Amino acid sequence: MFQPSQGTVPAKSTYDVKILFQPDHESNNYFDVLLIDIPNQINAKSIYLRGWAYSRQMFARELEPFEWKETDALKRKYEEPLKMLQQKGASPASGTREKILLQFSRDEDVETIEHEFEKSKNRVRQILIGNCRLMDNKLEKAGTYELNPPANAEKYFDCDAPKGSVAGGQETAIKFMFNPPQQDDMLKTIGALKGIGQWVENVWELKLAGGFVEPGQPDPLLVDVVLRAYVEQI
Tell me how many degrees the CA angle 164-210-147 measures, rounded to the nearest 5.
40
With beta carbons less than 8 A apart as the criterion, state whether 209 and 228 touch. no
d(CA 99, CA 102): 10
For range 25-33, the mean pLDDT: 81
Q: What are phi and psi of 121, to 5 degrees?
A: -70, -5
What band does 148 get if pLDDT is binned at 50, 70 and 90?
very high
Residue 37 pLDDT exceeds 60: yes
H helix or E strand, kind and range, residue 228: strand 221-232
Q: Give mean pLDDT, residues 69-83.
A: 55
Domain residue limits, the chain? 2-232
Give the per-residue pLDDT at 64: 83
Nearest to 67 by CA among 48, 93, 40: 48
Q: Say which residue, 72 or 61, is predicted with more confidence.
A: 61
Query: Beta-carbon neighbour count of residue 213 at 10 Å?
Result: 19
Residue 27 has pLDDT above 90, yes or no: no
pLDDT of residue 84: 46
Instruction: Report the SS3 class of residue 130.
Output: strand
Between 57 and 190, the more confident residue is 57
Instruction: Give the pLDDT of residue 81.
Output: 43
Amino acid 234: pLDDT: 62
State the architecture of 2-232 in CATH terms.
Sandwich (2.60)
CB 209 within 8 A of CB 164: no
Q: Are 92 and 218 in contact (CB under 8 A)?
A: yes
Of 179 and 78, more confident: 179
Asked if the bond preceding 220 is cis, omega within 30° of 0, the reply is yes
Average pLDDT over residues 19-42: 81
Average confidence (pLDDT) over 49-70:
82
